[in-house]
Amino acid sequence: MKAKNIGEFRHYEFCRFCGLKTTPVLDLGYMPLAGGFLKTPKLIDKEKFYPLMLTFCKNCFLLQTSDVIDKDILFQNYFYKTSAIQTLVQHFEKIGDELVKSFNGTRKIKVLEIGCNDGSFLKYLLKVGFDAYGVDPATNIVSSLTPKLPIHNDYFGLKTAQKIKRDKGTYDIICSFNTLAHIEDMHEIFKSIKLLLKSNGILVFENQYLGTLIKSNLYDTIYHEHQYYYSALTIRNFIKQFDMEIFDIVFSNIHGGSIRFYIQNKNTGIHKIQKRIKNIFANELKNKFDQIYTYRLLAKRIKRQRKQLISIVKKLIKDGKTIAGYGASGRGTIIMNYCGFDSNTLDYVIDDAPAKIHSYTPGNHLPIVPSSILMTDKKTDYIILFAWTFRDEIEEKCRLYKQNGGKFILPLPKVTIV
Ligand SMILES: [Zn+2]
């Protein structure tokens, strides 16, 4: 086998939140970038791999990746588009409606979205009457949207925050979805947020929840972009140093299980601290999110999960069955590479995102094809649903495939054939 081409990365022995030494808990080995889809087979030789390891901080309970890749490699050419996923668009509309309800004054409310991606949420905010502005570094996504949509194409950080403050002033709401776990220097991010947030303003941000990773062994959410895995305890510890406090927490099913924090400046008393968050902290302590052995056990369960999926797939292949994948997503990249699935295992991976069709999956180089292939290809017996968190949407799309006897393999949270 050809040796893997190892890319450049920064290795951390210490916690990026509190600076103390961390302990490794799970090593997934060298992995390609989850979103490193290859446009042509020629690019295979140039493909790079990076270590993917999680470490735990016994001091502030942060679970982080030990190795960080430069942000220009990760984000300037981003592969993920919100609007491609209907479930996400609806999720944002619901959050937008909630914000409208809690800010129903006569004054125009100013909202800044960090990591606005293709503007799905921004458009909704504008539609409901907010004065909304977005920031996103992915030039490939943002360039066609501006100037129609008010988006600043850059990384969010102190320099950007200073510019926005000069041009636009401060904000009532700063929000961010699936972004604030993707940034190496969270100290700078919070300093920038403080600069732009009105003293009575709120910060709303949502990320995948550490509790779901632990409960459902979601190793497919572990990738280089996801540098942090947040619990309520970790965020409470971290934001103290910025004189901020959590006043509410909402859980949602999006991305297989997410946590949404509502944060305000400390001692402003503007928003009452919701009683339920006390229970959330207590529950995390009860489930030992502050203990290293919780993460050692998680690593064991993840390894077992991988073994199960590999053995089912091996058996099907031995029985002469044909298998494909569904969802050329970061999750798919991780599952396939961690389980060692290649062209001897899967024929292709289905995805309808125009930017991905006719590209190749990272690491194992399978062709990506549109779902219409299921109309003509009658020989695929099983499809591994890498995009299992959007199962309902996909099953509806593939009704005919199922009616014709096709089966899905769910890789997570439990390896199941449906
Ligand atoms: Zn720490």
pLDDT of residue 252: 92
Q: How far is the CA of 15 from the centre of ligand 1 (A)?
A: 5
Distance CA 335, CA 412 (A): 10
Return contacts of 268-272, CB within 8 angstroms, 24+ apart: 268/199, 268/200, 270/200, 270/202, 271/202, 271/247, 272/247
pLDDT of residue 377: 75
Q: How far is the CA of 255 from the centre of ligand 1 (A)?
A: 25
What is the C-alpha R_g of the chain?
22
Q: How far is the CA of 48 from the centre of ligand 1 (A)?
A: 29
pLDDT of residue 142: 87
Q: How far is the CA of 63 from the centre of ligand 1 (A)?
A: 8
Q: How far is the CA of 287 from the centre of ligand 1 (A)?
A: 19
pLDDT of residue 103: 80
Q: How far is the CA of 235 from the centre of ligand 1 (A)?
A: 11
Does residue 145 surpass a pLDDT of 90?
A: no
More confident residue, 2 or 172: 172
Distance CA 48, CA 31 (A): 8
Distance CA 368, CA 358 (A): 5
DSSP letters, 109-178, are PEEEEES-TTSHHHHHHHHTT-EEEEE---HHHHTTTTTTS-EE-S--SHHHHHHHHHHH--EEEEEEES
Q: How far is the CA of 314 from the centre of ligand 1 (A)?
A: 41
Q: How far is the CA of 232 from the centre of ligand 1 (A)?
A: 14
**Any residues with CB less than 8 A from the CB of 344 and at least 6 apart, and which?**
317
Q: How far is the CA of 218 from the centre of ligand 1 (A)?
A: 22
Kindly report the CA angle at 364 between 219 and 382, in degrees rounded to 5?
Answer: 75
Q: Nearest CA to 137 among 220, 90, 77, 190?
A: 77
Q: How far is the CA of 309 from the centre of ligand 1 (A)?
A: 34
pLDDT of residue 224: 94
pLDDT of residue 401: 92
pLDDT of residue 8: 95
Q: How far is the CA of 20 from the centre of ligand 1 (A)?
A: 6
Q: How far is the CA of 25 from the centre of ligand 1 (A)?
A: 14
Q: How far is the CA of 198 from the centre of ligand 1 (A)?
A: 28
Q: Are the beta carbons of 244 and 78 closer than 8 angstroms?
A: no
Does residue 81 surpass a pLDDT of 70?
A: no
Q: Are the beta carbons of 409 and 417 closer than 8 angstroms?
A: yes
Summarised one tens digit per residue, pLDDT across range 259-292 is 999 999 998 878 999 999 999 999 999 999 999 9
pLDDT of residue 84: 65
With tokens 């295979």, the residue in question is 44
Beta-ladder partners of 145: none
**Any residues with CB less than 8 A from the CB of 285 and at least 6 apart, and which?**
233
Q: Are the beta carbons of 181 and 207 closer than 8 angstroms?
A: yes
Q: How far is the CA of 56 from the centre of ligand 1 (A)?
A: 8
pLDDT of residue 295: 98
Q: How far is the CA of 21 from the centre of ligand 1 (A)?
A: 8
Compute φ and ψ for 197, nearest 5 degrees: -95, 130
Q: How far is the CA of 81 from the centre of ligand 1 (A)?
A: 32
pLDDT of residue 235: 98
For 77-95, what is the mean pLDDT? 74
Question: From residue 45, how far is each of 18, 348, 363 by CA, in Å?
Answer: 39, 20, 11
Q: How far is the CA of 13 from the centre of ligand 1 (A)?
A: 11
Tell me the average pLDDT of the chain.
Answer: 93
Does residue 1 surpass a pLDDT of 60?
A: no
For ion ligand 1, residues whose CB falls within 5 Å: 15, 17-18, 57, 59-60, 62
Q: How far is the CA of 191 from the centre of ligand 1 (A)?
A: 18
Q: How far is the CA of 29 from the centre of ligand 1 (A)?
A: 23
Summarised one tens digit per residue, pLDDT across range 218-239 is 999 999 999 999 999 999 999 9
Question: From residue 297, how far is each of 7, 79, 136, 304 by CA, in Å?
Answer: 30, 33, 37, 11
Q: How far is the CA of 143 from the centre of ligand 1 (A)?
A: 37
Q: How far is the CA of 24 from the centre of ligand 1 (A)?
A: 13
Q: How far is the CA of 17 from the centre of ligand 1 (A)?
A: 5
Q: How far is the CA of 383 from the centre of ligand 1 (A)?
A: 40
Torsion of CA 150, 153, 155, 159, to 10 degrees: -80
Q: Are the beta carbons of 267 and 287 closer than 8 angstroms?
A: no
pLDDT of residue 230: 97
Q: How far is the CA of 403 from the centre of ligand 1 (A)?
A: 51
Distance CA 397, CA 383 (A): 13
Q: How far is the CA of 310 from the centre of ligand 1 (A)?
A: 35
Q: How far is the CA of 412 from the centre of ligand 1 (A)?
A: 29
Q: How far is the CA of 413 from the centre of ligand 1 (A)?
A: 28
DSSP three-state, residue 305: helix
Q: How far is the CA of 51 from the centre of ligand 1 (A)?
A: 21
Does residue 256 surpass a pLDDT of 80?
A: no
For 103-107, what is the mean pLDDT? 73
